[in-house]
Structure 1
């Protein structure tokens, strides 16, 4: 994948060594790659989310750590498979009267994108494949207790400092793992990000979910600022931001929440 080379000011050229400029450009490219869900970059994001005002009395809150390894696999000279895994670890309290608190793993969402290594002639980057829901939740309140599968896809364009695109998936239950649970949900994630030459990225996205079984929707909007930083020879991206629930499922979270992200990067 080719990225544009940004012009630097005369002052920067005078003050920075060539190695400094190369390191800066590399960090900028890596920051842009993180905005691309099907980039050929091994990364391990740890995404923490805090939500509150949950339940009929708005007494509940939830802390979720999503472990999200991304692994690209080259299958031909022209194609990659991108494996994206989401494993949630959750602590929640009082999500409904008398619920108490629960701590444990949630259900894994596993996506596989077949993606061309180069953008199309018009500059589009895309990937498509299957998505699976695995009933790995350790508590009744943290699992759908059924298997689900469906299609997933992503399309985006990167132009200069901008990345704009959308990711989606649709899950339908395929087998019960213990109790009757009907799943028929669509997830849509439009996103836009702007990356500066100093590897700072400003990202605005939504993570809308539509539950067709219950005719219910959840629409959080997230704004995150992140930066790529080398620490002891290892590259990391650190990010922080806010989320706001524009719409929520019945007894779901409301108002403002928070998001923190630490991502370990393993460029080739």
Structure 2
């Protein structure tokens, strides 16, 4: 009996010691992905499909390349670089406008963020955001240079992450024949991460165009999972979005989103 008890104890100890650390590490990476200013290098490739543009039911496919790179300034502060470079393929988004393929405008943000959470676990970051006119077609970009402030604040407690990211961009230079840019971006978000690294996320990526006096409000729901290929952690994500509000001739109805994110933890 003593031998059997020892054997059962040894087997239970062996089983519990193998998978739990791996699950814990993957879940921790998944939670860091829910934090826009986490000290984690990540390179997402995000695919979006939207339809219903203009009178000819135009459509757009966008792959956003979004590297996030944190840099340590000193013992107390990080600066996090977040870049969004869109690669776009679209058809009849402005009436009978034909097909376009190429780069859209790049959005570059820098967040200065404390390394340790503040009172009540508040995580935050502030900094500048820049609009770079990298569009390769007049229907793919604004042909304007822009700048403005950006900020993010969130709290993580248990499996939950709740927060919001915002910025505002004003155009400061560029083609004088194109309309100026004055745009506010608001992204409240809520995520739930399980112990085995599944994440369920709900957010909006709302934009208010102050020049056109128009809102764009897509509501996104996504499910993601962190897995490892050898030593390389990767997050896979899939979901849908619904355009609750869109500008005149903008997208409507349901769209799709899928992404793959390569993670490089320190």
- Quick check: 1:145–1:181 contact (8 Å CA) kept in 2? no
Uncovered stretches (5+) of structure 2, i.e. residues with no partner: 1-11
Residue 50 (str. 1) matches residue 49 (str. 2): yes
Q: Indicate the RMSD between aligned Cα atoms, in angstroms.
A: 1.2
Do structure 1's residue 158 and structure 2's residue 156 form an aligned pair? Answer: yes
Q: Which residue of 1 is the match for residue 5 of structure 2?
A: none
C-alpha deviations, 1:229-259, integer Å up to 9, x for none?
0013211000100000000011000000000
CA distance in 1, matches of 2:44, 2:14: 33
Q: Larger C-alpha radius of gyration, 1 or 2?
A: 2
Runs of 4 or more, structure 1, over 2 Å off, are 13-17, 177-181
Between 1:133-142 and 1:178-187, the stretch displaced more is: 178-187
19-28 or 60-69, which moves further after superposition?
A: 19-28
Shift of 1:77: 0.2
Specify which of 189, 193, 196 is matched with residue 194 of structure 2. 196
2:104·2:141 contact (CA, 8 Å) conserved in 1?
A: yes
Aligned to 1:186: 184
Do 2:142 and 2:178's aligned partners in 1 also have CA atoms closer than 8 Å?
Answer: no
- SS at 2:26 equivalent: helix
CA deviation string 1:115-169 (max 9, x = no partner)? 0000002110000000000000011100100100000000000000000000000
Question: Using the alignment, how far apart are the partners of 1:165 and 1:14 within structure 2?
Answer: 39
Aligned residues: 255
Residues 140/197 of structure 1: CA separation in 2 closer, same or farther (3 Å cut): same
Where does residue 84 of structure 2 map in the other structure? Answer: 86
Other-structure match for 1:258:
256
Give the structure 2 partner of residue 23 of structure 1.
22
TM-score normalised according to structure 1 size? 0.93
For residue 179 of structure 1, report the CA deviation from its aligned partner: 3.5
Determine the C-alpha separation between the residues in 1 that align with 2:18 and 2:84. 36
Q: Secondary structure at the match of 1:122?
A: helix
